[in-house]
Amino acid sequence: MTKPEYAVKVEQVHKSFGANEVLKGISFSARQGDVLAIIGASGSGKSTLLRCINHLVVPDEGRIYIGNEVLLSRKRRDGVAVSSDPRQLERVRAKLGMVFQNFNLWTHRTVLQNVIEGPVHVQHIAKHEAIDHALTLLAKVGLSDKQHAYPAELSGGQQQRVAIARALAMNPEVLLFDEPTSALDPEMVGEVLRVIRTLADEGRSMILVTHEMKFAREVSDQTIFLHEGIVEESGVPEALFDNPVSDRLRQFLQPMC
Ligand code: ADP
Ligand code: MG
């Protein structure tokens, strides 16, 4: 089967929480090797959208394409949306790596144990191979000397770099980042953005929800502005940031000027 030109395609995704319709028919696609940045005010639905991509939140309607697979959902009789095919979901999730705002590391495991956990216990890779790979990844994120440390002994920036190494250890086809620097002290933002930029330069497919506008402008191939659950504007970052068409986007970008 030939690989489609998109890494992720989202088609007419809707999601409500009770009476609150958070996503109102979202569509976009991210090409293989591209970085797609998602920006928007707090509460506009960015995290919900990112979570819909791996069905951590199951959409009420719409389709999510990951490479050659399409994730569908259905409503149970009680109205709760569930994935149509749980076995397929497992397969698709293996293609997606996710990095969260709050790192979500296992606090009682060392850095190395955090990074090898998925490969050894989920992918059943031999432990020595997983360790070799993990050490390469820790070197890549600049943390070779921290393999035996526990998360609490690390700074926020270091913990987030471990979380990125952990996501990479599963060899994902696409990396999803949900505001990876917004829980960090300002002096640590740069070290995490540098790692993300390296991954972008290597041609990894990524979807990045971020408040770092300057970074989004520099690193993304395509930017989407989400406003109240719709794609209010999208395009190449130069156009979006320098010549916003929508008044709402203009207002959103104003503090930057
Ligand atoms: P953003 O990431 O852009 O700040 P979110 O996707 O987190 O926005 O949230 C969008 C809206 O959806 C908010 O009003 C939030 O309260 C609501 N929401 C998000 N997750 C849930 C949930 N699990 N249950 C109920 N409401 C939720
Ligand atoms: Mg969010």
Confidence of residue 79 (pLDDT cuts 50, 70, 90): confident
Residue whose CB lies within 8 A of the most ligand 1 atoms, among 21, 44, 47, 50, for a mutation test? 47
List pLDDT tens digits, range 21-62: 999 999 999 999 999 999 999 999 999 999 999 999 999 999
Q: What is the average per-residue pLDDT within 151-170?
A: 98
- Segment 207-235 mean pLDDT: 97
Mean of pLDDT over the chain:
95
Q: Which ligand has the shortest distance to the CA of 46? A: 1
Q: What is the CATH number of domain 1-95+176-181+204-257?
A: 3.40.50.300
For atom 7 of ligand 1, the residue with the nearest CA is: 47
Atom from ligand 1 closest to the CA of residue 209: 2
Atom of ligand 1 nearest to the CA of 50: 6
Ligand approaching nearest to the C-alpha of 57? 1
Report the separation in Å between the CA atom of 23 and the middle of ligand 1, taken as the mean of its atom positions.
10
Q: Is 116 in the pocket of ligand 1 (CB under 6 A)?
A: no
Query: Whose alpha carbon is nearest atom 18 of ligand 1?
Result: 17
Mapping DSSP onto H, E and C, the string for the chain reads CCCCCEEEEEEEEEEEECCEEEEEEEEEEEECCCEEEEECCCCCCHHHHHHHHCCCCCCCEEEEEECCEEECEEECCCCCEEECCHHHHHHHHCCEEEECCCCCCCCCCCHHHHHHHHHHHCCCCCHHHHHHHHHHHHHHCCCHHHCCCCHHHCCHHHHHHHHHHHHHHCCCCEEEEECCCCCCCHHHHHHHHHHHHHHHHCCCEEEEECCCHHHHHHHCCEEEEEECCEEEEEECHHHHHHCCCCHHHHHHHHHHC
Q: Where in the chain is the domain with CATH 3.40.50.300?
A: 1-95+176-181+204-257
